[in-house]
């Protein structure tokens, strides 16, 4: 197969996603959307009914279908190779979105080549068993060269600094604003509500564990920190985004960086501290939720996604300017698979059209990270692929080692007694208006948006081998 120029391939893919999103928005403008402005899978499927090919290029798996039957039906024998998010050919589910390239169009852009090429360029952190790490044996030398470039700091990092939202927050959000300070949050760890949006540990905790560090203290509590400040500091606030999401109640990511910049000016931390540390930047989609809540239209989403990515890029550039040499930024998780989106299907099916929009976000993120690394002539920035890691765990209904099993992976452990309530809701007499599963370890999701501690552990397991390639200090 001929080698595709990474920049050209990525530009074509972004253009392809943009065009597809535009078509989606045009359809949505003519159709009644679901509750809260959600896209429906049925509407997405209607987009392509006039296609002359036997299958849509963006194909939504239907009930009872397997990759084998789809391959025969659509005339595409390379479905697995073209879809890096599929790791077990026997485990597909209704609503899964896959790319189809009929054999007669084999000369068109190959998405697998795109991801392999751009993955090398971006320092893209894939998942255990991902096609990024299998097949393509003829490219091993290129992978080895890239990993050596990424590992230009072989010593263990001394600190972890964190910016972002509820996927990383370990206690910053005000008690009056977050359910994370209410029971039953924190029931697994530390045994009581402590500000984490889960029953226990979150992404920050697992990344710190990998780096051999204690989880950094939440910025809100730094005055009580003392020696704990030597582990770094967590500036992430649940519910925040790159823009204001709840007015001035929550500091957006730029403000979070302001907090850190102020500490550096006060010599609480030095540039050397940042140069010898890792920075985690987490963005889980609150900007898009706020966009819809504030009256944003489906048609305008195509233009809003690049604005979010552009601001995120400015934030990353600023963090690098402060002295950061290793910055992990998360890709957007499959929003269409969050329980608040799958509830309408009784937690059986992901919202395929929402995941399509997520794909556009993630492609633009890849492009931005590539440009930043090119402009800085470094490998400072790399992507933690939450999209593929979430998808892998949900498809396999557990971690790849078989230590964790999630029989109904789309159903949350903790949920309101009806749609008017959520996990942690109580009435004015303190009576619980939610239910909790018997064993949080049996559920991937804790509430409508966040994984359980077991869910995060499964995600971490899928990322660990790739993290080890980036941080070769063992």
Which of the residues are catalytic?
Answer: 166, 447, 450
CA-CA distance, 195 to 183, in Å (whole number)?
10
CA separation for the pair 1, 5 (Å, rounded)? 13
DSSP string, 225-283: TGGGGGGEEE---TT--SS-SBTBSS--HHHHHHHHHHHHHTTSS-HHHHHTSEEEE--
Residue 206 structure tokens: 């697992």
The answer to whether the beta carbons of residues 81 and 124 sit under 8 Å apart is no
Which residues lie closer than 8 Å to 375 by C-beta, 6 or more apart?
Answer: none
Cα distance between residue 316 and residue 57, in whole Å: 34
Distances (CA, A) of 402 to 22, 386, 399, 440, 458: 41, 20, 6, 17, 10
Question: In the numeric block, which tokens belong to residue 316?
Answer: 């990353």
Which residues, in sequence order, are CB contacts of 415 under 8 Å at separation 6+? 339, 422, 423, 434, 435, 447, 448
Contact 383, 403 (CB under 8 A): no
| Residue 239 near residue 165, CB atoms below 8 Å | yes
Kindly report each contact of residues 32-41 with a partner whose C-beta sits within 8 Å and lies 24 or more positions away, as own/partner: 33/298, 34/344, 35/344, 36/292, 37/292, 37/296, 37/298, 38/341, 38/351, 38/354, 39/298, 39/351, 39/353, 39/354, 39/357, 40/351, 40/353, 41/95, 41/349, 41/351, 41/352, 41/353
Is it true that the peptide bond before 190 is cis, omega within 30 degrees of 0? yes
Reading phi first (left if > 0) and then psi (alpha if -120 to 50, else beta), residue 77 is in alpha
Greatest alpha-carbon span in the chain: 68
């Amino acid at each position: 197969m001929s080698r595709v120029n990474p920049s050209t391939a990525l530009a074509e893919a972004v253009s392809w996603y943009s065009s597809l999103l535009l078509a989606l928005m045009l359809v949505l403008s003519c159709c009644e959307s679901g509750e809260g402005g959600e896209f429906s899978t049925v509407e997405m499927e209607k987009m392509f009914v006039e296609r002359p090919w036997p299958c849509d290029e963006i194909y939504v798996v239907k009930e009872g279908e397997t990759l084998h039957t789809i391959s025969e039906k659509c005339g595409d024998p390379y479905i697995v190779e073209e879809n890096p998010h599929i790791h077990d050919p026997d485990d597909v589910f209704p609503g899964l979105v896959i790319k189809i390239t009929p054999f007669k169009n084999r000369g068109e852009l190959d998405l697998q080549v795109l991801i392999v090429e751009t993955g090398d360029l971006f320092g893209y952190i894939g998942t255990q068993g991902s096609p990024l790490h299998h097949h393509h044996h003829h490219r091993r030398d290129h992978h080895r060269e890239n990993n050596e470039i990424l590992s230009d700091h072989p010593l263990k990092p001394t600190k972890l600094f964190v910016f972002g939202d509820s996927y990383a927050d370990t206690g910053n959000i005000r008690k009056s604003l977050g359910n994370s300070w209410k029971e039953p949050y924190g029931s697994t760890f530390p045994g009581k509500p402590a500000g984490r949006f889960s029953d226990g540990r979150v992404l920050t905790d697992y990344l710190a564990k990998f780096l051999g560090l204690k989880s950094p203290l939440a910025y809100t509590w730094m005055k009580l920190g003392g020696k704990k400040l030597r582990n770094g500091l967590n500036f992430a606030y649940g519910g925040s985004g790159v823009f204001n999401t709840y007015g001035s109640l929550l500091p957006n990511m730029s403000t979070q960086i302001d907090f850190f910049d102020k500490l550096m000016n006060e010599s609480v931390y030095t540039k050397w501290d940042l140069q010898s540390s890792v920075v985690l930047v987490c963005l889980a989609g609150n900007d898009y939720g706020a966009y819809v809540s504030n009256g944003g239209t489906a048609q305008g989403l195509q233009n809003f996604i690049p604005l979010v990515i552009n601001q995120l890029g400015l934030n990353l550039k600023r963090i690098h300017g402060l002295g950061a040499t290793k910055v992990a930024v998360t890709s957007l998780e499959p929003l269409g698979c969050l329980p608040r989106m799958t509830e309408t299907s009784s937690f059986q099916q992901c919202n395929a059209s929402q995941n399509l929009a997520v794909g556009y976000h993630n492609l633009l993120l890849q492009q931005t990270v590539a440009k930043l690394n090119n402009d800085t002539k470094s490998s400072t920035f790399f992507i933690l692929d939450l999209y593929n890691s979430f998808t892998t765990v949900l498809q396999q209904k557990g971690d790849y080692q078989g230590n964790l099993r999630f029989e109904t992976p789309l159903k949350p452990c903790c949920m309101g007694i009806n749609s008017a309530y959520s996990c942690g809701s109580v009435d004015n007499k303190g009576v619980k208006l939610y239910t909790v599963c018997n064993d949080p370890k049996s559920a991937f999701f804790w509430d409508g948006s966040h994984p359980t501690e077991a869910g995060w552990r499964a995600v971490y397991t899928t990322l660990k081998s790739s993290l080890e390639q980036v941080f070769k200090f063992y």
